[in-house]
Amino acid sequence: MKEMAMRRVGHALTPIDPMSDEELMLLSTDKDVLVTAWVPRNVKQHRLAWGLAGKIAEAVDNIHDADDAMDWLKIKCRHVKYLTDPRTGQVQIIPKSIAFASLTQQAFGRLLNRMVYVTCTEIIPGLDEGALRRELLKMVGGGTWEKITGGSQNRHRKGQERPEAELATEGQTEPQRAPATTYRSRRRLERSA
């Protein structure tokens, strides 16, 4: 079953973006269709994630469709649960749901930011994060990344250096650190001092 973002206009539901329109056109004409409608916390956030999965499916040869790409993304981003067979001890990795009821808007925003980061660093290395975000925003009809995801773009992750300008805004004119330390280890050292 495909999810489509629709808007009620009078007594009809109409697609609100090109991706939903394409999905609607795949349905058979002159046949009855059962529809389940609900108002999600943020439709654009969900469409950004599926737009990203679609882009990955187009770019990576061994991915068949957006569903496979989404499962792969969730596994790469560690949005998974681990099941262990008690007899054999074998562990299975099962992607968790990204349904609207399964995550808060803030948690889904963090997951979406992680998905973009993983896409640009591991799945399609060298892909520009900013360009990918702009392309995804175009696909869902515009807006700003921060407004849709409910936060920042999380550019500085654990284990990565923060720019000097950011450190200066914390009241440090010259950072007191060795060049090889990371932001996370610096914070631990500062707290212990």
Statement to judge: residues 107 and 180 lie in one domain: no
pLDDT at residue number 46: 85
Statement to judge: residues 135 and 174 lie in one domain: no
Taking the C-alpha atoms of residue 174 and residue 102, their distance in angstroms, rounded to an integer, is 44
Statement to judge: residues 27 and 48 lie in one domain: no
Taking the C-alpha atoms of residue 136 and residue 88, their distance in angstroms, rounded to an integer, is 43
Statement to judge: residues 193 and 100 lie in one domain: no
Beta bridge partners of 9: 12
Using a cut of 0.75, tell me whether the model's pTM lies above it. no
Statement to judge: residues 33 and 45 lie in one domain: no
pLDDT tens for the 193 residues of the chain, in order = 577 888 889 998 899 888 888 888 888 888 888 887 766 667 888 888 999 999 999 988 888 999 999 999 999 999 999 999 999 999 999 999 888 777 877 888 889 999 999 999 999 898 899 899 988 988 888 777 887 777 655 554 444 444 443 333 344 443 333 333 344 444 444 554 4
Residue 155 lies in a domain: no
Cβ-based burial of 92 (10 A; exposed 0-12, middle 13-18, buried ≥19): exposed
Statement to judge: residues 113 and 173 lie in one domain: no
Taking the C-alpha atoms of residue 128 and residue 55, their distance in angstroms, rounded to an integer, is 14
How many structural domains comprise the chain?
Answer: 3
Residue 156 lies in a domain: no
Statement to judge: residues 1 and 72 lie in one domain: no
CA 165 to centroid of chain Cα atoms: 27
Statement to judge: residues 69 and 114 lie in one domain: yes
Q: Are 110 and 103 in contact (CB under 8 A)?
A: no
Statement to judge: residues 120 and 183 lie in one domain: no
Structural domain of 192? 161-193
pLDDT at residue number 161: 44
